[in-house]
Amino acid sequence: MSAYVVFMRDEMVDRVEFEEYAAKVDASFEGHNVKFLADYGTIETLEGAEIEGAVILEFPDMDAARAWYRSPEYQATAQHRFQGARYRGFIVEGP
């Protein structure tokens, strides 16, 4: 069953750190079977608090999604995201 990694950006706190993340994150996908379904497009909030941005990634299954997220390449890059913005993120299974 496919798995979807969803990131929601609540607040940018350091644009320089975030730009460093943006410049490096694409390399973390090498060797991973991932499809971008949404990448900071227009957002219409239907319920809850407004967010600044969102990304939805599709992986073949939960193990593949976890393998990318937990990979040393992504975790090294993610440190810049952690310093640059406040996010919420999760993996959800779906069809």
Region 23-46: what's the mean pLDDT?
Answer: 97
Task: Determine the Cα–Cα distance for residues 28 and 74; give it in Å rounded to an integer.
Answer: 5
Percent of all residues in the chain with a pLDDT value above 70, rounded to a whole number: 100
- Identify the pLDDT of residue 14: 98
For domain 2-94, give the fold.
Alpha-Beta Plaits (3.30.70)
Q: Which residues pair with 9 in a beta bridge?
A: 53, 87
Residues near 94 by beta carbon (within 8 Å), at least 6 away in sequence: 1, 2, 3, 4
**CB-based contact 91:2 (threshold 8 Å):** no
Delimit the domains of the chain by residue range. 2-94
- Which pLDDT band, with edges at 50, 70 and 90, does 78 fall under? very high
* Helix/strand/coil for 38: strand
- Identify the pLDDT of residue 26: 96
Mean residue pLDDT across the chain: 97
- Identify the pLDDT of residue 74: 98
- Identify the pLDDT of residue 47: 97
